Amino acid sequence: MNNPIKSREQIDEILDKHDGRPDKPSRDWLIYQALPKMQGSILFVGVNDYTKYYQYIVPNPAIFETIDICPERGKAGGSDSKHHVGDLKSLDPRHHCYDHIILFGLHGFKGHNISNESVFDDLQHAHNLLNYYGTLTWAPSPQITVNLNEHKNLPYTEFATIVIDDMKTQLNYETIGRMDNYDNIIWMGTKNPTEKIATPLLVGHSNENHIFEPSRYVNPFKSMLDQELLKKKNKEQ
């Protein structure tokens, strides 16, 4: 059964209580459109003091978990319910599984000693931790060009397209939505079952006990798409 989705007014009250307001359009989407609609268990990767109140916005704070490699950032912005100190890849898929996993601003960013070279490994491991029909949100900051393996001097938006295409073809994800006109590239996809395992790494949760019920899902891109259509219609008039 779904928990109630908080209204914008309720979210504003939470933000006021914790002295937090989104300072970027992508975070505005995350706070008002994505997190409130994510029924089920959530893993949020990478925290800081501005993520502390995220746990109060989701429908069920008791199953909202966070992880960060930095203990200090974990103390500042980790979930009260459960916070892991360590790399995302330290979580064992045999013991951890989630309906939604969010990697927001983790890649493509110049600061905070973020390892951009790990993007494929990070997404692969997030895939391993994700329940079938669950959602994976990848929102890199396109601040760098990429020189990784055969990819040379690629703008991050082009590199992101390659990564997303691999998620769809190699790991059988279905794109829910993608937006490039924000400060972060935002992509969300659904993990679909596949008979053919396209990677040599462990793919967890192949049994029916690890399935997220699709009917519980509410598309957080809908309002964004409606706004884009409205802008287009206004220009045509």
Q: How many separate helices (H) and strands (E) can be counted in the chain?
A: 7, 9
- Is 137 in contact with 186 (CB distance < 8 Å)? yes
The answer to whether 99 and 178 have CB atoms below 8 angstroms apart is no
pLDDT at 20: 83
The confidence score (pLDDT) of residue 123 equals: 94
Residue 102 confidence (pLDDT): 98
pTM for this one? 0.84
Strand ranges for 140-203 from DSSP E: 145-148, 151-155, 173-179, 186-191
SS3 207: coil
For residue 57, which of 15, 28, 29, 27 has the smallest C-alpha distance?
Answer: 15
Domain residue ranges of the chain, discontinuous segments joined by +: 18-236
Mean pLDDT split into 10-residue runs, the chain, 237 residues: 88 92 89 93 95 95 96 95 96 93 89 70 94 93 81 86 92 92 90 61 38 58 55 62
Predicted confidence at residue 231, as pLDDT, reads 59
Alpha carbon distance 47, 64 (integer Å): 13
> Are 40 and 99 contacting, i.e. CB atoms less than 8 angstroms apart?
yes
Predicted local distance difference test score (pLDDT) of residue 207:
36
Residues 6 or more apart from 137 whose CB is under 8 A from it?
34, 100, 101, 102, 103, 104, 186, 187, 188
Residue with tokens 């209580």: 17
User: Given this model, what pLDDT does residue 203 score?
Assistant: 35
CATH architecture assigned to 18-236? 3-Layer(aba) Sandwich (3.40)
DSSP for 69-109?
S-HHHHHHH--SSEEEES-GGGS-TTT--EEEEEEES-SS-
